[in-house]
């Protein structure tokens, strides 16, 4: 039954002791953090575009 459930990602805490993680876990963590960085950058871009649109609207 549990085989149908999506695999949960392990939480990573900034500053965590890396000696406790295997090489594969470290690689997975790097991939997860890269995905999170991309997600954050998309949010920044979206907010910036919204702010620019609002500034352009109110400059009229």
Rounded to whole angstroms, the Cα distance separating 14 from 10 reads: 13
What pLDDT, on the 0 to 100 scale, is given for residue 60?
78
* Contacts (Cβ under 8 Å, ≥6 apart) of 29: 10, 12, 21
pTM metric for this prediction: 0.70
Residue found by looking up tokens 């790097």 in the block: 30
What pLDDT, on the 0 to 100 scale, is given for residue 12?
86
What pLDDT, on the 0 to 100 scale, is given for residue 11?
82
Residue 37 CB coordination number (10 Å): 10
What pLDDT, on the 0 to 100 scale, is given for residue 1?
55
Q: Is the pLDDT of residue 2 over 80?
A: no
For 7-50, the pLDDT digits (tens) are 666 788 999 999 999 999 999 999 999 999 999 999 999 999 99
């Amino acid at each position: 039954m549990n085989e149908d459930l999506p695999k949960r990602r392990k939480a990573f805490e900034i500053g965590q002791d890396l000696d406790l993680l295997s090489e594969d876990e470290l690689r997975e963590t790097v991939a997860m953090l890269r995905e999170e960085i991309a997600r954050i950058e998309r949010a920044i871009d979206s907010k910036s575009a919204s702010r620019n649109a609002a500034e352009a609207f109110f400059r009229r």
